[in-house]
Structure 1
């Protein structure tokens, strides 16, 4: 943990990680229909000559009300790739900053003896936790820890 805390905070790299994460969460779909996507018949609205009206080939024309859009927006892809080494360095930088701000606590044993949420919550309060969100990490999976913590709000 000491060597991790010695890592400098790289704000540019963290910014790149966060913007890539948010961009990758975006949906790639946009609205709008071209004349081929609009629902309607394939028949001419009226004959070509003899009506006195302007000639018309389809009710889906962009000039018509209810017709398609002339230049419809295509789906845009917002994926941003972050290299593996950059991702690891950025996460290391974030965790190091959290350690420097005393927002990370290392505990010897996290797993409770019984799968009781109330007892586990009292144990967390005894350690000084109670308000705000919390991320619990352990090197292996304990059933009692999963069962005791899953009904506590903002605990992951």
Structure 2
């Protein structure tokens, strides 16, 4: 298949396997969730009634004082332990390489079918300028949340996009399924397309 290059009469020949794959919602969901979970620290920790600092002596006599209570470390008291205390854990999910690549292919293919994949010859700035980047993106009609993918993101491009809250700049090595799914439009250079094709084919 061929991808149209924005602002050029030329077309880019690409693999049907990478940019023409069928959409698989279950696979994409599984891979995106696994990717996001891998970024979770899982360090939340709370104390049980056995771990809080406090005496376990019975707080008052058994009868004649209203409700019958034992130690003040019980969960019903302020400063007591937590009933089902959270402990450090790993949220990692196993996703093999074949599944990950298939999900990336399906995402890129769906972006292409929906017209949300814009291929350009090159995308770079001569100097660090957020204003120049904004005007360049407006010309491409990228929407509110564009993702710019280049073969190797230059420092000028990265610094120019840093002050824009919804604009992301990635090189091919830093590309991930969550950023692709969350973007309104993906602006990608022709060199980056070829590098992605070599990676996923």
Same fold (TM over 0.5): yes
2:158 to 146, 149, 156: 146
Q: CA deviation at 1:72?
A: 3.9
Measured on the aligned residues, the alpha-carbon RMSD in Å equals 3.2
Q: Which stretch shows the higher mean deviation, 75-84 or 103-112?
A: 75-84
Structure holding more strand per residue: 2
* Residue of structure 1 aligned with 2:134, choices 121, 124, 128: 121
* Matches of 2:81 and 2:140, distance apart in 1: 62
Quote the Cα distance in structure 1 between the aligned partners of 2:23 and 2:147: 21
| Matched residue SS, 1:91 | helix
Structure 2 unpaired stretches of 5+: 1-13, 63-69, 169-201
Q: 1:39 aligns with which of 47, 50, 53?
A: 53
Do the aligned residues in 1 keep the contact of 2:27 with 2:99 (CA within 8 Å)? Answer: yes
Residues 9/88 of structure 1: CA separation in 2 closer, same or farther (3 Å cut): same
Q: Contact conserved, 1:60 with 1:68, CA < 8 A, in 2?
A: no
Q: Distance in 2 between matches of 1:63 and 1:26?
A: 26
In the alignment of these two chains, the number of paired residues is 145
Q: Contact 1:133/1:154 (CA < 8 Å) preserved in 2? A: yes
Aligned to 2:108: 95
Alignment partner of 1:135: what SS?
strand
Distance 1:16 1:118, change over 3 A: same
TM-score (normalised: structure 1): 0.71
